[in-house]
A and B are shown apart, each in its own frame.
Chain A
Amino acid sequence: MTYYIKLGVILFMIAAIASGVLAFVNNFTKPIIEENQRQMEIEARRTVLPQAKTFEYVEDNLPYYRGYDEEGQLVGYTFMAVGAGYSGDIQTMVGLTADYKIFSISVLIQTETPGLGANCTRPEFTNQFSGKEVDELYIDVDSGDIDNITGATITARALTNSVKKASDIIIEQTKDLSDNTKHDYSKDKETV
């Protein structure tokens, strides 16, 4: 009997030490991981909408950021588009200009097949979105003019459709304000 209690105590000790060590490492790395995540998003916002100098977060059904230039003029919006790709969600940061054209996109997180779907992060693919109207966003297979990725139609279609869908939502959410391009905080709450 005491033998079995001893076994339990030993296992408990090992598990307790292990969780102590893990708690310590987690404490240490968690802020860095969160900081990385934040930096990555800030970086991505700057890339997809470089003419904006300051960004302002807007809470909505689909949260987004408004980008303003030095004079406080609204230049566009950035937001995340999420679509189910071939092997997981594809998260894309989209920069939309104030007159609702895609400025550029940047794929942040994807787990697509390397050499095939993973090519969606390449500029050859993402640059095609620049300057497009939201209504034009279809891949060539769906009779649009975004060139498909060879061997990765699912990825290209998922990404393109997710960008279009998210952009449509943003247009819906912001169109009441589209004439009012001056920075006006009092309107922020009424965007819904």
Chain B
Amino acid sequence: MSLIKELTKGFIKENPVFIMALGLCPALAVSNSIENAIGMGGAATFVLLCSNILISLLKNFIPPKIRIPCYIVVIASFVTIVDMTMNAYLPDLHRNLGIFIPLIVVNCVILGRAEAFASRNSVLKSIFDGIGMGIGFTIALVAVAFFRELLGAGQLMGIQIFPNNYQPILVAILAPGAFLTLGLLMGLINLFKKPETD
């Protein structure tokens, strides 16, 4: 029961992007098309899962004083592995995500979960937490990308949705559109969220 809770809390209730406002840099940068959002979400989820497992395993071995450099080494290693394997086996996706892959290293969702969860909980719980948070991150990216791609290009997943004479709202696909969409979605979620009772 509690494992399922660890998994689902990341979807909406503790969504890393919308609620905790972590990992905003990749959420803004890679949400211009759903395809990129899924690719980035998948890569980040994989790194998050691996780093959560390893850090949870090493939690008694890593002295608290040097935990941050240790976490960064672990995360950076997994990111580099993802980068190289993706380049080898999924070159098309790798070409699209390009510079964003190395940026997963500084994605604070991953360091945040290592610090706040994996270093204090069992491996099993950390696995569920990692998957849940990764899915939550992906949901957020896809949600932002949905509006940006639809309005900015008239497409979804590269398939034309609006008729060809639709004049795309170019700002949606450029950087300002990312800020606007993310801000509006965050506001919308806060509007419907039950106020926290003290």
Does A pair with B? yes
Residues of chain A having any CB pair with chain B under 8 Å: 6-7, 10-11, 14-15, 18, 21-22, 25-26, 29-30, 32-33, 36, 40, 109, 111, 113-116, 151
CA distance A30 to B63 in the complex (A): 35
User: Do B84 and A33 have beta carbons less than 8 Å apart?
Assistant: yes
Top 10 closest A-B pairs, CB basis? A115-B153, A32-B88, A29-B88, A18-B77, A29-B84, A115-B173, A114-B33, A114-B32, A36-B91, A33-B87
Q: Which residues of A contact B8 (CB under 8 A)?
A: none
- Asked whether A115 and B81 contact (CB < 8 A) given A7-B66, A10-B61, A29-B88, the answer is no
What is the bound-complex CA distance between A87 and B58, given in angstroms?
41
Query: Does B62 lie at the interface of the complex (its beta carbon under 8 Å from any beta carbon of A)?
Result: yes
| Residues of B contacting A40 in the complex (Cβ-Cβ under 8 angstroms) | 91
Please provide the chain B residues from 145 to 198 with a CB less than 8 Å away from any CB of chain A in the complex: 149, 152-153, 155, 168, 170, 173-174
Say yes or no: A109 contacts B91, CB within 8 Å. no
Interface status of B121 (Cβ within 8 A of chain A): no
Closest B residue, CB atoms, query A11: B66
A-B CB contact pairs (8 Å), 15 listed: A11-B66, A14-B70, A14-B73, A26-B84, A29-B85, A33-B84, A109-B95, A113-B173, A114-B36, A115-B33, A115-B149, A115-B153, A115-B155, A116-B173, A151-B170
Tell me the dominant secondary structure on chain A's binding face.
helix
B55-107: which residues lie under 8 A (CB-CB) from chain A?
58, 61-63, 65-66, 69-70, 73-74, 76-77, 80-81, 84-85, 87-89, 91, 95, 98-99
**A33/B88 contact (C-beta < 8 A), A10-B63, A109-B95 known:** yes
CB distance from A68 to the nearest CB of B (A): 29
Bound complex: CA of A33 vs CA of B61, how far in Å? Answer: 36
Is the beta-carbon distance between A21 and B81 smaller than 8 angstroms? yes
Bound CA–CA A151/B98 (angstroms): 23
Residues of B at the A interface (CB closer than 8 Å) are: 32-33, 36, 58, 61-63, 65-66, 69-70, 73-74, 76-77, 80-81, 84-85, 87-89, 91, 95, 98-99, 149, 152-153, 155, 168, 170, 173-174
Q: Roughly how many angstroms separate A36 CA and B66 CA in the complex, as a whole number?
A: 40
Task: Find out whether the CB atom of A21 lies under 8 angstroms from the CB atom of B77.
Answer: yes
Nearest A residue to B61, CB-CB? A10
Interface pair A11/B69, CB less than 8 Å apart: yes
Complex: how many Å from CA A29 to CA B85? 6
Would A114 and B88 count as touching, CB distance under 8 A? Answer: no
Assess A7 versus B81: contact at CB under 8 Å? Given A14-B73, A115-B32.
Answer: no
Taking the closest CB of chain B, its distance from the CB of A97, in whole angstroms, is 29
A18 to B58 alpha-carbon distance, docked (Å):
14
- Contact check, A29 vs B168: say whether CB atoms are below 8 A apart: no
Q: Give the shortest distance, in Å, between B7 (CB) and chain A (any CB).
A: 28
- B170:A116 contact, CB within 8 angstroms: yes
- Chain A residues within an 8 Å CB radius of B61: 10
